A and B are shown apart, each in its own frame.
Chain A
Amino acid sequence: MGFTRYLLAALLALLSALPAASAMADLVVVVNAESGVERLDRDEVINIFLGRYRVFPSGLAALPIDQPANLPLKARFYRKLVNKDLDEINAYWARLVFSGKTSPPRQAASPAEVMAWLAANRGAIGYIERSMVDARLRIVLEFAP
């Protein structure tokens, strides 16, 4: 009966751990609730964040905001979005910066600043942990776990 007890314990541990992990990794793309944007697909998000089109489908100019680079959140976002690490993203931006036609998303200094900008700008778009979402924001894209 000892073995059954251990197995049961292990299963319980696993079940308790999974919701915690998903809660931790649960990134969502959010926009200002007043922006009028309801949903965005992944390509629309990519186009906005990687500088191709900086407008929402409604014609509203979009203002993408990056989390601070030292936070794992940013790396996790790009990994989820385009499956690239930050170095690659940086190299990408390095080529574009040269021509000056477009620029990388505004770099926030902290998550709070992200939240602030999101709230302050109608066209702002950013990514945050789900737990951070409040009424001022609207989730337009959720990444599958």
Chain B
Amino acid sequence: MTMRALWKHSLLFRSVAMIVAVSILSILLTVAITVVVTQKRAQEAAATRLNQLVDTVESTVQVACFVGDKTLAGEVAKGLLSNSEVLEVTILADKQELARKRRAGMSQAEADHAPSLTRDIHSPFNPAQVVGSIRIAPDQQNVERSIVEEVRFVALQSGWQLTLLALVMVEAMLLFILHPIKAMSDRLHHMDARAGDRLPGLKGYVAHTEIGRLVDDINTLAGDLVASLEEERTLRLQRETDEKKYHAIFDNAESGIFVLDGEGQVSSCNPAFTRLLGVPGNVASECALRLGKLSWENPLRLAAMIQEALHDNKPVAEDLCLRLEDGASRWLSLILSPIGDNLLQGVAHDVTGLKEAESSAKRLALTDPLTGVANRLGLEARMHALVKNFTFTQRGGFVLMLVDLDGFKGINEGMGRPAGDEMLKVTTSRLAHCVGSGDSVARLAADTFGIVLHGVTRGEDADRVAGCIQQALSQNHFIEGSPVRLHASIGIALFPDDGSDVPTLQRHAELALDKAKAAGGNTAVFFDPAMAEAAEQRRHMENDMRQALRDGDFRLYLQPIVDLRGNHIAGAEALIRWQHPIRGLIPPDAFIPISEQTGLINDIGLWMLDAACAQLAVWEQAGQTLHLSINVSARQIPEGLPPSKLLEALQQHGISPARLALEITEGVLLHDIEKALAWLRAVREMGCRVYLDDFGTGYSSLSYLKHFPVDTLKVDKSFVQDMHVHANERALVEAVVAMGKSLGLDVVAEGVESAQQVQLLREMDCRYVQGYYFSRPVPADDFDIAAARVAALLAVPA
């Protein structure tokens, strides 16, 4: 190794070299200083010694000089020369040389050259008087010798001291620093920190020194590094796993994932995307295709999407339809999100199924599931389309025909729902048969159908179709072997003559249908503006009735019921009149049906109940034990007039329930039998009596009498009035009376108008009668007068 290499690589060499260099330098410096100092000191010491030497002889020299005694001076000089340091002595007295003595072997020049000591010599008797001088030249060589000796000594001493110091320092460095570092370095060379290797802790005298701490620090650092590496490795593995995972997701995704530029050029995509597009190429790198070149149904839309996403820098989503090579179409939901650099990241889903389901649902919403024809919404949509078309073209009216099956409820209940459903299907197909291909058939409600006859503007054509329908429906249809024939009520309205918008047209067709049904069914009725007028009147009347209820315009009228057996008034039937502020007194026939249609009957019924109870209370106070019966419409049962309300009214006026009778018709029993029965039982248990009104005009089935708990039958006036003319009627009334008697029911004969009829009824043993003969219905306030008249009539024997 060269010195340079050693210097470069060996710390020890460097340290030793520096120590040696510094030592040599300091030795040289010390010697130099020593030379200077020693020289000075030696000179000074020599001078001192010479001075002392002169001192010892001064008095003698004084004497010698004082008297100019050469002999004495010579002696003194000789004596001084005996000192080895003295080279030459010269004694002068007043410029006269008294003595000059020189060491043998020394030249004059040598003596002159040396720095001599000269001292003035004073008179021994007068210190102020200079009498001579003495000059001593020292032996310079002697001085130099001593200097050399001194320097040699100093050099030697500092030499070995520094050498020793250097050795100790080198050794200390070796021991305390270099060897531990070397050991550490060697150990580090072979140390595998990741395998858990660490530097062994230093022992002994260096354990707690800087080196010891360095070892600890290195170990800590190694630990930290290893930990960091571990962490890094874990992260890398995690990243790789993630990458694989995402790659797998990308490759295996069902959704198409791709990246494209502003020109619609796809730069990368996953296999699902190519599958979705129906283009070849499953490798991601082969995704060089232009989206715009595919056969989109609306290619401009795609370009607009790309522009919008790039321009607005926000995601854009849209469903686009793609025509595949095999002719099928595929709906793709595309979401394009800008990812910067004029690039878009896209996701594509196949939403063909969704789209189909959507359109199917749309169809379903407009279609009746049972019959497969349009439902109300579908028909309305058709009509709206036609109306819209008409407003543009002013051509092409149409006819709305509503077909309601008469008595279909009976079929449904009597033969079961499946049979009813089948009938509806049959009806649908028969209806379809009667209309053209441009027309629409729809099922609007349970047994109501709507037909739109497109292009039909003349009533005759509509009438022809209606006839066809009635003809078709009346054909026998066999269900489980039983022949079933259907009849239909048909309401017809023409567009635009009968209504210029769909709701009006529908309303008018419904009015016509109502009219057809009211006419007994199995008929077709065209809408007539009068119908609308009537409907309008009904609405007016309804409003007026509400007003009347508020204003108290209804009046209570009473018609006495006479007990023929006891010859006295048994009570009365409560009747209602409407004291209209403009139209005057209105009979119940004119407003009760409308009130029944609108539900106002419930309010009117409650008013009636209250008025009747008040009347009963008046009688009660007057001590009259009369009965009062009120009419209850089928619409009021059971919710309109619940037994609790009855009881409440009775208790409010303090009336015994036995005084109040409720007149119902057979119609009550035609609706919900169970509820009607429950209502009947409840009111009878409460103590009220129940009259069956208009007995004989309706079904008057005897089985009803068996099923329904009533107390009294009221024989309809049509039988009573013709009693004395037709034997049949008389026999019928007789039969009713007899039947009532045998069933334990009271019988009231209504419409008695003559004494002859009274006589006949007496003969039949009909106990109660009611009619003009005794009294017309009178205002409640006039009842007493009427009663007095009745009493007068009864008093006259027939």
A contact set with B: CB distance below 8 Å: 43, 46, 50-52, 81-84, 92, 95-96, 98-102
Residue in chain B with minimal CB distance to A83: B125
On chain A, the residues within 8 Å of B124 by CB distance are: 92
Q: How far is the CA of A99 from the CA of B66 in the complex (A)?
A: 14
A52-B66, A92-B63, A95-B60 known; A101+B126 contact, CB < 8 A: no
B67 at the interface (CB under 8 A from A): yes
Query: Contact at B126–A46, with CB atoms within 8 Å?
Result: yes
Expressed in whole angstroms, the minimum distance between the Cβ of B157 and any Cβ of chain A is: 49
Query: Contact at A84–B125, with CB atoms within 8 Å?
Result: yes
B72 at the interface (CB under 8 A from A): yes
Query: Contact at A50–B125, with CB atoms within 8 Å?
Result: yes
Q: Which of B66-125 contact A (CB under 8 A)?
A: 66-72, 75, 124-125
Query: Contact at B72–A98, with CB atoms within 8 Å?
Result: yes
Query: Contact at B125–A96, with CB atoms within 8 Å?
Result: no
On chain B, the residues within 8 Å of A100 by CB distance are: 71
On chain A, the residues within 8 Å of B71 by CB distance are: 98-101
3 closest residue pairs by CB, A with B: A99-B71, A82-B125, A99-B69
Q: Is the interface of B mostly helix, strand, loop or mixed?
A: helix
Query: Contact at A102–B67, with CB atoms within 8 Å?
Result: yes
Query: Contact at B125–A102, with CB atoms within 8 Å?
Result: no
Residue in chain A with minimal CB distance to B131: A52
On chain B, the residues within 8 Å of A84 by CB distance are: 125
Expressed in whole angstroms, the minimum distance between the Cβ of A47 and any Cβ of chain B is: 9
Contact pick for A52, options B60, B67, B72, CB 8 Å: B67
Query: Contact at B126–A43, with CB atoms within 8 Å?
Result: yes
Residue in chain A with minimal CB distance to B72: A99
Q: How far is the CA of A70 from the CA of B72 in the complex (A)?
A: 29
Q: How far is the CA of A102 from the CA of B64 in the complex (A)?
A: 11
B-side interface residues, number (CB < 8 Å): 15
On chain B, the residues within 8 Å of A98 by CB distance are: 71-72, 75
A95-B60, A96-B63 known; A101+B69 contact, CB < 8 A: yes
On chain A, the residues within 8 Å of B67 by CB distance are: 50-52, 96, 101-102
Q: How far is the CA of A101 from the CA of B71 in the complex (A)?
A: 8
Q: How far is the CA of A19 from the CA of B71 in the complex (A)?
A: 48
Task: Give 17 pairs: A residue, B residue, CB < 8 Å, sorted on A.
Answer: A46-B126, A51-B67, A52-B66, A52-B67, A52-B68, A81-B125, A82-B125, A92-B63, A92-B124, A95-B63, A95-B64, A98-B71, A98-B75, A99-B72, A100-B71, A101-B68, A101-B69
On chain B, the residues within 8 Å of A50 by CB distance are: 66-67, 125
Expressed in whole angstroms, the minimum distance between the Cβ of A94 and any Cβ of chain B is: 10
Residue in chain B with minimal CB distance to A81: B125
Contact pick for A102, options B69, B75, B126, CB 8 Å: B69
Residue among A52, A82, A100 with max Cβ neighbours from chain B (10 Å): A52
Query: Contact at A95–B126, with CB atoms within 8 Å?
Result: no
Expressed in whole angstroms, the minimum distance between the Cβ of B77 and any Cβ of chain A is: 13
Query: Contact at B72–A96, with CB atoms within 8 Å?
Result: yes
Residue in chain A with minimal CB distance to B66: A52
Expressed in whole angstroms, the minimum distance between the Cβ of A81 and any Cβ of chain B is: 8
Q: How far is the CA of A81 from the CA of B126 in the complex (A)?
A: 10
On chain A, the residues within 8 Å of B126 by CB distance are: 43, 46
On chain A, the residues within 8 Å of B72 by CB distance are: 95-96, 98-99, 101
Q: How far is the CA of A92 from the CA of B75 in the complex (A)?
A: 16
B contact set with A: CB distance below 8 Å: 60, 63-64, 66-72, 75, 124-126, 129
On chain A, the residues within 8 Å of B66 by CB distance are: 50, 52
Q: How far is the CA of A144 from the CA of B62 in the complex (A)?
A: 27
Residue in chain B with minimal CB distance to A92: B63
Expressed in whole angstroms, the minimum distance between the Cβ of A64 and any Cβ of chain B is: 14
Q: How far is the CA of A3 from the CA of B63 in the complex (A)?
A: 57
On chain B, the residues within 8 Å of A83 by CB distance are: 125
Q: How far is the CA of A51 from the CA of B65 in the complex (A)?
A: 12
On chain B, the residues within 8 Å of A51 by CB distance are: 67
Q: How far is the CA of A82 from the CA of B124 in the complex (A)?
A: 9
Q: How far is the CA of A43 from the CA of B72 in the complex (A)?
A: 22
Q: How far is the CA of A101 from the CA of B64 in the complex (A)?
A: 10
On chain A, the residues within 8 Å of B129 by CB distance are: 43
Residue in chain B with minimal CB distance to A84: B125
Q: How far is the CA of A81 from the CA of B125 in the complex (A)?
A: 9
Known: A82-B125, A101-B68. 7 other contacts (CB 8 A): A92-B124, A95-B60, A98-B75, A99-B69, A99-B70, A101-B67, A101-B70
On chain B, the residues within 8 Å of A82 by CB distance are: 125
Q: How far is the CA of A100 from the CA of B71 in the complex (A)?
A: 9
Q: How far is the CA of A52 from the CA of B64 in the complex (A)?
A: 10
Q: How far is the CA of A92 from the CA of B62 in the complex (A)?
A: 10
Expressed in whole angstroms, the minimum distance between the Cβ of B129 and any Cβ of chain A is: 8
Q: How far is the CA of A95 from the CA of B59 in the complex (A)?
A: 10
Query: Contact at A46–B125, with CB atoms within 8 Å?
Result: yes
Expressed in whole angstroms, the minimum distance between the Cβ of B56 and any Cβ of chain A is: 14
On chain A, the residues within 8 Å of B60 by CB distance are: 95
Expressed in whole angstroms, the minimum distance between the Cβ of A78 and any Cβ of chain B is: 10
Residue in chain A with minimal CB distance to B76: A95
Q: How far is the CA of A51 from the CA of B69 in the complex (A)?
A: 10
Residue among B75, B124, B129 with max Cβ neighbours from chain A (10 Å): B124
Q: How far is the CA of A82 from the CA of B67 in the complex (A)?
A: 15
Q: How far is the CA of A82 from the CA of B60 in the complex (A)?
A: 17
Expressed in whole angstroms, the minimum distance between the Cβ of B237 and any Cβ of chain A is: 119
On chain A, the residues within 8 Å of B69 by CB distance are: 96, 99, 101-102
Expressed in whole angstroms, the minimum distance between the Cβ of B470 and any Cβ of chain A is: 193
Q: How far is the CA of A83 from the CA of B127 in the complex (A)?
A: 12
Residue in chain B with minimal CB distance to A43: B126
Expressed in whole angstroms, the minimum distance between the Cβ of A97 and any Cβ of chain B is: 10
Expressed in whole angstroms, the minimum distance between the Cβ of B78 and any Cβ of chain A is: 13
Q: How far is the CA of A27 from the CA of B124 in the complex (A)?
A: 23
Residue in chain A with minimal CB distance to B74: A99
Expressed in whole angstroms, the minimum distance between the Cβ of B57 and any Cβ of chain A is: 11
Q: How far is the CA of A96 from the CA of B71 in the complex (A)?
A: 9
On chain A, the residues within 8 Å of B75 by CB distance are: 98-99
On chain B, the residues within 8 Å of A101 by CB distance are: 67-72
Expressed in whole angstroms, the minimum distance between the Cβ of B347 and any Cβ of chain A is: 138
Q: How far is the CA of A52 from the CA of B124 in the complex (A)?
A: 12
Residue among A43, A84, A98, A101 with max Cβ neighbours from chain B (10 Å): A101
Q: How far is the CA of A51 from the CA of B129 in the complex (A)?
A: 16
Q: How far is the CA of A99 from the CA of B72 in the complex (A)?
A: 6
Expressed in whole angstroms, the minimum distance between the Cβ of B245 and any Cβ of chain A is: 129
On chain B, the residues within 8 Å of A46 by CB distance are: 125-126
Q: How far is the CA of A46 from the CA of B129 in the complex (A)?
A: 12
Q: How far is the CA of A100 from the CA of B67 in the complex (A)?
A: 11
Residue among B64, B124, B125, B126 with max Cβ neighbours from chain A (10 Å): B125
On chain B, the residues within 8 Å of A96 by CB distance are: 63, 67, 69, 72
Expressed in whole angstroms, the minimum distance between the Cβ of B467 and any Cβ of chain A is: 195
Expressed in whole angstroms, the minimum distance between the Cβ of A92 and any Cβ of chain B is: 6
Residue in chain A with minimal CB distance to B60: A95
Q: How far is the CA of A12 from the CA of B442 in the complex (A)?
A: 188
Residue in chain A with minimal CB distance to B123: A46
Expressed in whole angstroms, the minimum distance between the Cβ of B549 and any Cβ of chain A is: 171
Residue in chain A with minimal CB distance to B124: A92
Residue in chain A with minimal CB distance to B73: A99
Expressed in whole angstroms, the minimum distance between the Cβ of A28 and any Cβ of chain B is: 20
Q: How far is the CA of A99 from the CA of B60 in the complex (A)?
A: 12
On chain B, the residues within 8 Å of A81 by CB distance are: 125
Expressed in whole angstroms, the minimum distance between the Cβ of B70 and any Cβ of chain A is: 8
Q: How far is the CA of A87 from the CA of B214 in the complex (A)?
A: 89
Q: How far is the CA of A97 from the CA of B126 in the complex (A)?
A: 21
Residue among B63, B71, B124, B129 with max Cβ neighbours from chain A (10 Å): B63
Q: How far is the CA of A76 from the CA of B67 in the complex (A)?
A: 23
Expressed in whole angstroms, the minimum distance between the Cβ of A54 and any Cβ of chain B is: 10
Residue among A81, A82, A96 with max Cβ neighbours from chain B (10 Å): A96
On chain A, the residues within 8 Å of B68 by CB distance are: 52, 101
Q: How far is the CA of A92 from the CA of B125 in the complex (A)?
A: 11
Q: How far is the CA of A84 from the CA of B59 in the complex (A)?
A: 14
Q: How far is the CA of A52 from the CA of B126 in the complex (A)?
A: 13
Q: How far is the CA of A82 from the CA of B66 in the complex (A)?
A: 14
Q: How far is the CA of A95 from the CA of B125 in the complex (A)?
A: 15
